[in-house]
Homo-oligomer: A and B are copies of this chain.
Amino acid sequence: MQNAVDTNDFVELVRQAGLRPTRQRLSLARQLFMNGDRHVTAERLHSESLDQGISVSLATVYNTLHQFTNAGLLRELVVDAGRSYFDTNVSAHHHLYFEETGELRDVPGDNVAIENLPMLPHGMKVSRIDVIIRVKNGSAESS
């Protein structure tokens, strides 16, 4: 999905998510998926849109992010209290979080092994495993 990224691609994407391809959803999809992996907050996506002259309300940004998330196009992640990031990479992977700057970076899923998973209560299944490696400035290592 690198070149030949035109409106039609996004029309299809949005349709396959079971949503009507409105101007707002197409613009947001383009911003989210056109330039590779991203980790965005709703506020940032909204102001980015306005900067690009795309008129869309914050409520619609939230609605769309949740709809895309439900459709499996995005993954929501909460890294600290008070704000959600939406990750355009929905494959198995984890995250490096820079505590000072708030920057979030992907870590390939095979860098982390989950072993001896505890027994789950009957009838329960794993829906997802989130791993967040928090890093900050400093010389030594602590756990």
Residues of B near A136 (CB, < 8 A) are 124-125, 127
CB distance from A105 to the nearest CB of B (A): 8
Q: Contact check, B116 vs A115: say whether CB atoms are below 8 A apart.
A: no
Q: Which residues of B contact A120 (CB under 8 A)?
A: 96, 135
Say yes or no: A125 contacts B143, CB within 8 Å: no
Chain A: number of interface residues, binned into ranges: 35 or more
Nearest neighbor of A139 in chain B, beta-carbon distance: B125
A117 to chain B, nearest CB (A): 7
**A143 touches which of B118, B128, B139, B140 (Cβ 8 Å):** B128
A102 to chain B minimum Cβ distance, whole angstroms, is 14
Closest to A105 in B: B118
Contact mask for chain A residues 80-105; partner B; CB cutoff 8 A; 1 contact, 0 none: 11111000000010001011000000
Binding site for B on A (CB under 8 A): 76, 78-84, 92, 96, 98-99, 107-108, 110-118, 120-121, 123-143
